[in-house]
Amino acid sequence: MVATAVTASLFPVISPSPDSSAEGNKHAGGPTNLGGFKSRHTSSRGLKVKANAQAPPKINGAAVATSVETCKHDDVLPSPSPRTFINQLPDWSMLLAAITTIFLAAEKQWMMLDWKPRRPDMLIDPFAIGKIVQDGMVFRQNFSIRSYEIGADRTASIETVMNHLQESALNHVKTAGLLGDGFGSTPEMFKKNLIWVVTRMQVAVDRYPTWGDVVQVDTWVSASGKNGMRRDWLLRDCNTGEILTRASSVWVMMNKLTRRLSKIPSEVREEIGSYFVNSAPIIEEDNRKLTKLDDNTADYIRTSLSPRWNDLDVNQHVNNSAPQSILESHELSSMTLEYRRECGRDSVLQSLTSVSGVDVGNLAYSGHVECKHLLRLEDGAEIVRGRTEWRPKPVNNIGIVNQVPLND
């Protein structure tokens, strides 16, 4: 009744007059149908009301109908009220629940945007590709050491370090606006079908980073002779500034179609010349001659080696193939590589290694180890000569190599 009164006050409905109701019942000849529900017919023996009944009470000057008056014309009921705007509104409880859900989701998003890291080293943007520093001469990029980039001793592998060197070099070219449609080639190089190939690489590792470390890589380029380019790298611990790795390399141009070395065209020199830094190599060049190995001088020989598909880059030659560790108790401290020719997917290789200064049968108990390497094709054509130096792995949380610490 209260709801009906409120509805009537907001949306007044004109009630039919008694005469019209009586006339409607007269023509209908029966009880009124209320939307499919039949009204209860009142007989002539129904409740009788005296004519001199008490006047209806008043509240604040307005008359209020009594229950007796309501039943007075029970046999003459009005037709059902038409559907109004209020009757067609949706369920308010469902609407309120939806609004609450939206506000809770928005509040959660604001909390995530207002999140502050607890450690300063977590401020590193993992999606940044680096930036140009030192008056546009040096490119700098940070790398976070991932869990899948470490080995059993919980340190990054030499493969991870080499990948960081390559990635920062390519991003340097890209950030400087010199990246054409080729893999590290400038627009003029792309027009002339030229690509970069490395002829010499020298790396010195002071310490390998561990999982969660952030490595800062600085790289720059310089001229190397008349037709070469030198690229240097300096890797530091981003938090402490400790130098981790130094690397230097020499690059020349090769025609992608003829696979022959090429001079640097004047158009390309104009593109890259302004980025050359007049500085000495970051590593003192190792001028010791890399001697050639053969079947008689090599201590270890592996044959029928084939490059894997993931060893190839977009120029279809082997790039940064992961070196095989000669000892599980040693780690690579430095290496010098001289590339003689490229290696493709269909190449079948032979690897020759000689160990200097130690007993080959007791390598696990040796100190520093030096090795000489030769990678060649089956027909004897040389691909790369190399020299590597190894040092004992430092004591770490694993303890003895290849053993899991157990509680006594």
Residues marked as catalytic: 315, 317, 343
Rounded to 5°, angle at Cα 179 from 177 and 180: 125
CA distances from 69 to 22, 51, 72, 80, 152 (A): 17, 12, 5, 19, 94
For residue 262, which phi and psi values (nearest 5 degrees)?
A: -135, 155
Residue at token pair 């907001």: 10
For residue 56, what are its two tokens? 């209806």
The whole-angstrom separation of Cα 338 and Cα 389 is 15
- Write the DSSP assignment of 351-389 as a string of letters: EEEEEESS-GGGGGG-SSEEEEEEEEETTS-EEEEEEEE
Q: Are 124 and 217 in contact (CB under 8 A)?
A: no
Q: How many CB atoms lie within 10 A of CB 318?
A: 19
Q: What is the sign of the dihedral through the CA atoms of 384, 389, 392 and 398?
A: negative
Measure the CA dihedral 20/23/28/31, to 10°: 70
Answer whether 211's CB lies under 8 Å from 229's CB: no
**CB-neighbour burial class of residue 399 (10 A; exposed 0-12, middle 13-18, buried 19+):** exposed
Angle at CA of residue 221, ends 125 and 242, nearest 5°: 50
Q: How close are the terminal C-alpha atoms of the chain, in Å?
A: 82
From residue 193, how far is each of 150, 231, 255, 259 by CA, in Å?
38, 21, 6, 10
Contact 349, 375 (CB under 8 A): yes
Q: Tell me which H or E stretch contains 270.
A: helix 266-272
Q: For residue 153, give both structure tokens.
A: 């001793």
The CA distance from 339 to 246, in Å, is 19
